[in-house]
Amino acid sequence: MIINRLDHLVLTVKSVAATCHFYETVLGMEVVTFGANRKALRFGQQKINLHEKGHEIDPKALTPVMGSADLCFIADTDVAEILSTLQALKITVLEGGIVQRTGATGPIRSVYFRDPDGNLLEVSNYI
């Protein structure tokens, strides 16, 4: 088996509408509707499908839980500009600002914050 890339993942959320608003306004993701009025967040060649807690789509994770995701996104926008945007939007930035970490293919500079459900989001640039 040879895996090429991640196509989509699923987040279980309290409010699909609030999640769509956050990811669209803060992260610039595109909200798309598919299937029977389901919602997803599209960016690049990937998407995040959204399941509202208590109304998950089968098949689903064995124990869908809100706020359990830890996601890292690679941005084209400079991380310093991302930090400024988050601060202007009054979003709490964790770790004191920009930190250096290790991505899948090398060193990255990252900012950490949380979405409305408490999921940890990391937005980064490769160095």
Give the pLDDT confidence score for residue 17 in this predicted structure: 98
pTM exceeds 0.85 for this model? yes
Tokens at residue 24, please? 């669209």
The residues near 84 (Cβ < 8 Å, ≥ 6 apart) are: none
Is residue 1 one of the residues assigned to a domain? no
CATH code assigned at 46: 3.10.180.10
Does 42 fall in a domain? yes
Which range of residues forms the domain containing residue 40?
8-126
109-124 as b/e: b if 16+ CB within 10 A: bbbbbebbbebebbbb
Per-residue pLDDT at 54: 95
Strands 94-102 and 107-114: antiparallel
Hey, is 10 helix, strand or coil?
Answer: strand
Query: Tens digits of per-residue pLDDT, 75-89?
Result: 999 999 999 999 999
Q: Per-residue pLDDT tens for 49-77?
A: 999 999 999 999 999 999 999 999 999 99
pLDDT at 73: 98
* Residue tagged active-site, from 52, 81, 95, 122: 122
106 lies in some domain? yes
Q: Is 30 a catalytic residue?
A: no
Query: Is residue 75 situated within a structural domain?
Result: yes
Angle at 107 between CA 45 and CA 20, to 5 degrees: 35
How far is it, in rounded angstroms, from Cα 63 to Cα 66? Answer: 10
Q: How many domains does the chain have?
A: 1
3 part of a folded domain: no
Domain assignment present for 76: yes
